[in-house]
Amino acid sequence: RQELYRSLRDRPAVTKDGQHIDLHMNAGLAVDLPQLAESGAEGIGLFRTELQFMVAATFPRAEEQERLYRQVIDIAENKPVTFRTLDIGGDKVLPYFAASQTEENPALGWRAIRLTLDKPGLFRTQMRALLKAAGGRELRVMLPMVTDVSEIRAARAMIDREVRHLSRFAHLLPTRLKLGAMLEVPALLWQLPELMREVDFLSVGSNDLFQFIMAADRSNSLVSDRFDPLSAPFLRVLRQIVEAANAAGKSLTLCGELAGRPLSAMALVGIGFRAISMAPAAIGPVKAMLLDLDATALNEKLTHALDSTGRQDIHALLRDFARAHN
Rounded to whole angstroms, the Cα distance separating 3 from 105 reads: 45
Rounded to whole angstroms, the Cα distance separating 23 from 187 reads: 28
Q: Residues interacting with ligand PEP, by CB under 6 A?
A: 46, 48, 87, 184, 205-208, 255-256
Tell me, by CB under 5 A, how many residues bind Mg ion: 3
In three-state secondary structure terms, 83 is strand
Q: Which is nearer to ligand PEP, 174 or 229 (CB)?
A: 229
Give the residue among 152, 132, 128 at the shortest CA–CA distance from 142.
Answer: 152
> Binding of Mg ion at residue 89 (CB under 5 A)?
no
List CB contacts of 190: < 8 A, sequence separation 6 or more: none
> Binding of Mg ion at residue 229 (CB under 5 A)?
no
Nearest-approach distance from CB 287 to ligand PEP, in angstroms = 20
Nearest-approach distance from CB 298 to ligand PEP, in angstroms = 23
Q: Which of 40, 205, 260, 285 binds Mg ion (CB under 5 A)?
A: 205
Given Mg ion, ligand PEP, none, residue 256, with its beta carbon under 5 to 8 Å by kind, binds ligand PEP
Q: Which is nearer to ligand PEP, 15 or 207 (CB)?
A: 207
Q: How many CB atoms lie within 10 A of CB 309?
A: 6
Given ligand PEP, Mg ion, none, residue 149, with its beta carbon under 5 to 8 Å by kind, binds none
Of residues 155 through 184, those in contact with Mg ion by CB under 5 A are 184
Nearest-approach distance from CB 26 to ligand PEP, in angstroms = 7
Q: Which spans in the chain are helix H? A: 2-8, 34-39, 50-54, 62-76, 112-118, 120-133, 149-168, 192-198, 206-214, 232-248, 262-270, 283-291, 295-307, 314-324
Of residues 208 through 227, those in contact with Mg ion by CB under 5 A are 208
Rounded to whole angstroms, the Cα distance separating 32 from 145 reads: 24
List contacts with Mg ion (CB under 5 A): 184, 205, 208
